[in-house]
């Protein structure tokens, strides 16, 4: 399976053969044997490279899950320790309330399961979803609620967005607490990359009134964004939880955007095909505890999440009420 995973990751038979230190004809024969075993085509080959078919994507997700389990078994055997060990990958949407979960999550993992090594990613929501689909990420807290084949989204809470600008951008009179979509479009804005759900939300809010946002810089880093706002480069659109974390809060004017689309659903995302390893399931439970403590309760059935030792299971029921 390692050879198949490497071919999909690199998108090239030639590159995979070099990394694996095997002859390309031998690698091609191995893939052909896999396709014969599964009685279907696993890879689409073209002049631009190699891409997995639908069946290939399913095999890839399960292969990655098996690979992680083997790595954890090896680590446990070599360490000769009974406690949980292994790597767990968690995605947290940047510039969102999800980003604030990182520190308490790392602290709790360290205290309860020192043998587990967490990997935190704060890429765009699109990138996190792609990593989940590829099986290279165990779980993610991100914006979005639309069903995606192969992924299970658990709604957590709705996050509302605010225009955050230096007070110097306003005349002497203090502005009202809310700001219209038309007014947002008049500001020089500092927004994340186009792939970001937050950026897409701002563009949608402005489009609803027939306007486009005036973007003067694309910034993904919270520290850089904070410095740029303080320097008067422009205004930002952020959830209140992140706006309150900015160091120069007393010098800012924070106004809620009064528009139908000025919010996003925050969801917990896991795979509904590949099982969680024991280590990942332990981290998943800790993450749920922190979410409930931070944002309030929502309905989730821990026992129905698929874990490696128990095999695939039905995903939890959707929550009936959002906090």
pLDDT over 70 percentage in the chain: 88
302 — pLDDT class (breaks 50, 70, 90): very low
The reply to whether 137 and 204 lie within a common domain is no
User: Which of 86-90, 107-111, 277-281, 286-290 is the least confident region?
Assistant: 277-281
**Taking phi first (over 0 means left), then psi (-120 to 50 degrees means alpha), and beta for anything else, what does residue 39 get?**
left
61: domain CATH number is 1.10.10.10
pLDDT given at position 14: 85
The reply to whether 247 and 298 lie within a common domain is no
Do the Cβ atoms of 298 and 153 come closer than 8 Å?
A: no
Tokens coding 154? 């658990």
The reply to whether 167 and 238 lie within a common domain is yes
The reply to whether 75 and 87 lie within a common domain is no
191: domain CATH number is 3.40.190.10
**75 has pLDDT over 80:** no
The reply to whether 144 and 293 lie within a common domain is yes
The reply to whether 233 and 190 lie within a common domain is yes
Report the pLDDT averaged over residues 78-102: 86
Locate tokens 């399961």: which residue? 113
The reply to whether 49 and 86 lie within a common domain is no
pLDDT given at position 283: 94
What is this structure's pTM?
Answer: 0.69
Q: Which residues pair with 268 in a beta bridge?
A: 141, 154
Report the pLDDT averaged over residues 198-214: 95
CA pair distance 241, 239, nearest whole angstrom? 5
Total number of domains constituting the chain: 3
Query: What SS3 class is residue 319?
Result: coil
Tokens coding 215? 């973007």
183 is a domain residue:
yes
320 is a domain residue:
no
318 is a domain residue:
no
Identify each DSSP E strand in 77-174 by its residue range: 86-92, 116-121, 139-143, 151-166
**Tens digit of each residue's pLDDT (9 = 90 or more) over 152-178:** 888 899 999 999 999 888 877 778 899
pLDDT given at position 322: 34
**Tens digit of each residue's pLDDT (9 = 90 or more) over 94-133:** 999 999 999 999 999 999 999 999 999 987 777 888 888 8
pLDDT given at position 80: 60
pLDDT given at position 79: 61
The reply to whether 151 and 271 lie within a common domain is yes
Helices (H), the chain: 2-10, 13-20, 24-38, 54-79, 102-112, 125-134, 181-184, 197-207, 222-230, 240-243, 278-295
pLDDT given at position 45: 85
Mean pLDDT, all residues of the chain: 84
Domain that holds residue 9: 1-81
CA pair distance 107, 118, nearest whole angstrom? 11
């Amino acid at each position: 399976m390692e050879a198949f995973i490497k071919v999909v990751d690199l998108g090239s038979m030639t590159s995979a053969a070099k990394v694996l230190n095997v002859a390309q004809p031998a690698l091609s024969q191995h893939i052909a044997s896999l396709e014969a075993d599964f009685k279907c085509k696993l890879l689409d080959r073209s002049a631009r490279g190699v891409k997995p078919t639908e069946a290939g994507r399913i095999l890839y997700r399960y292969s990655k899950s098996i690979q992680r389990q083997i790595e954890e078994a090896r680590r446990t055997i070599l360490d000769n320790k009974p406690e949980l060990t292994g790597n767990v990958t968690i995605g947290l949407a940047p510039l969102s309330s999800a980003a604030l979960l990182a520190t308490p999550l790392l602290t709790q993992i360290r205290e309860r399961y020192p043998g587990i090594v967490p990997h935190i990613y704060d890429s765009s929501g699109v990138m996190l979803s792609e990593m989940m689909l590829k099986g290279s990420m165990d779980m993610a807290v991100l914006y979005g609620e639309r069903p995606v084949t192969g992924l299970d989204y658990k709604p957590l809470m709705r996050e509302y967005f605010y225009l955050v600008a230096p007070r110097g951008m306003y005349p002497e009179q203090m502005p009202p607490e809310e700001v219209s979509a038309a007014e947002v479009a008049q500001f020089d804005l500092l927004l994340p990359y186009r792939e970001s759900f937050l950026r897409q939300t701002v563009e949608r809010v402005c489009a609803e009134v027939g306007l486009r946002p005036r973007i003067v810089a694309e910034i993904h880093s919270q520290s850089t964004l904070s410095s740029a706002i303080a320097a008067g480069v422009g205004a930002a659109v952020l959830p209140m939880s992140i706006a309150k974390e900015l160091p120069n809060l007393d010098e800012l004017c924070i106004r809620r955007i009064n528009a139908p689309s000025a919010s996003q659903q925050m969801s917990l995302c896991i795979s509904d095909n590949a099982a969680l390893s024991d280590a990942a399931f332990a981290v998943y439970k800790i993450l749920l505890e922190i979410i409930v403590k931070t944002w309030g309760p929502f309905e989730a059935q821990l026992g129905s999440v698929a874990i490696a030792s128990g095999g695939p299971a039905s995903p939890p029921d959707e929550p009936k009420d959002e906090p």
